[in-house]
Each structure stands twice: as structure tokens, then as C-alpha cells.
Structure 1
């Protein structure tokens, strides 16, 4: 038992791959990270596909163990794994099939494993690209609508921005609330 560095484990699953680094920054700020036993298993070799996850071995930092509820756990180390939902899907399916390393996979399906891992990595990147596009689209459309440039497509983003910023919508809301006796300032 003395050789085990983590007796408790937590897994954080994000929607998007770029959120893994955001979570990592929070963990680094809030916990004491055991760098020697932590490992970044995200893909760094351009010829390798497959398991990808960030694993931190941590314990409560000095500020946290000052609180009575954490005092008894001062020396307890635990592992926090952070990965995207698609990285998690790969890890769970690969684990369920019982293969931990490339050498365990029968030669006949080794290429299939690599193709699937590559597809999931592409999907992870495409979801991030779409998210970034939509974030930028929302900013651009919001600016146009606030500047009263209503030459924009009608879609969820533009409608929500219009409803949130339109003086006309605000006046209609005030009149409707007043007609039924509700305080519109809520």
C-alpha cells in the first residue's frame, strides 16, 4: 500500500478538448500537484492514436488543510483524470474490449483500432472548430444587432440577441407585465 500514490480517483469529463487545459489550470491552482507521479497521456507523437487523458496525482494544498473538514486528509493523495467526452468514449470502449496496449490487440484489427482512434480525434477537433465558429458568430451578430444593423440571418443566435437587446421587445414586455399586474423589473 505504501507504493500506491493515489487511493482515491476522480474523473472530469469535458465536452470539448480545449476545456481539459482550463480544468487543469483550476486543479493546479486549487491542489498541490505531485508532478513526479502525474502524467499527460494526451497524444504528442504524430504517428500515435489512441488513449488520451491528463492524469494528475494531487493532495490538498496548505491553504485547504487549514479547514477542519480537510485536516484529516492532509497526506491523502488522489488522482484526477481529465479528458473530453470523445476521449472518454475511446478509453471506456477500449477498456471494455480488454486491450491496454497495442501489443495486446490482434494483428487483424490493430489498424481498425487506429482508424477509430483517429476518427475520434478528428471529431474532437471538429467539435472545437464548430464551437469556436459559433462563439465568434455570436459575437459578430451581437455587435451587428446592437448597432441596429438588422441585415442578419434569422436563427437562434440572432433571435436571442435581438430579444435580449431590443428596446421594442423591452417595451412590449413592460406593457404585457403591466397589463397583468406583474412587476417587470424582475
Structure 2
């Protein structure tokens, strides 16, 4: 990009998926409580949500001061990937597209599931393809778009072996090979 300064826009629409009652639990805790099959289903299906949080639960976004200006009905008690796509798309259309129409170079830095949602939209992936998509953590994915904002091409920036290693780490995490937070 060869820029010494990049303006930053923040949006809750690019937040990581809200895992509801699974928030703050690691994979072992969730598997012990709900069963490994359900945890895999919730984590890697497109339209199946984990159990939601009650509005009174302190982990519910209603209690987070960062979201105090948002209408309460926009704050999820749980989300599936389909919900993340629906949450992210208004940001694409309202914030990113106008900048792209001005020929701006746009850098989107976001969480794994919101990036998967964006890639689903840009690449026209179906529901199963996006579920199987493993975006390597911390590796920029650069798109060249045509005048209609459809991808002409894309590529990961960085050493191909390192990109593959990071994608494999994301896949291993999704399959439960590592013990980390949900």
C-alpha cells in the first residue's frame, strides 16, 4: 500500500461471531458440558446456533458499554455463521463499497468469522464452501476487483509455506486438535 498513515474505521459489524452460552469456555469445557458432536456442529455449521445467553447474563452484549448506542435488538445472544454474514453485509455496502467506488485502497482487519463472511460474499461461496474455508490468521488476503466489485483475482500476501502453515493451524483449531477458547 506504501502509505505512512491509513484512516481507521471501526464497526461492531466486523466483530467475531458471538458464541452465546459457549462464550469464555474452552473447547474441552464445551465438549464436556454439551458433547463433542454438538460443539463441532455449532462451530462449523453455517446455520446452527449454539445455545443463547439470557439478557441478564453479564456476558450478553447488552451489558458491554461499547454497544450502548446500538439498538438492543441488534445485539445477539448467540450467532451462527449465517448471522455473521447478515451482520457484516451492511458494513460492506455502507462503508466499504463507497470507498471502493472512490478508488480507495481498503484494508479490512477483522476476526476469522467476519472475514469468512466477507469472502463468502466476494467469492460467491455457497454455505458448505464457507464452512470449510480456513483463513490463515494474520495473513492479508488481497483482492483485485473489477468495476462491478467482483474479484478479478486474489492472493495471500506472504511466504506460501507460512500461509499454508497458518491455514492448517486454523483447520486444526476448528477440528478440536488444540485446546483454546471458543
TM over 0.5: no
TM-score (norm: length of structure 1): 0.26
Max Rg structure: 1
Q: Which has the higher strand share?
A: 1
TM-score w.r.t. length of structure 2: 0.27
Higher relative contact order (CA 8 A, sep 6+): 2
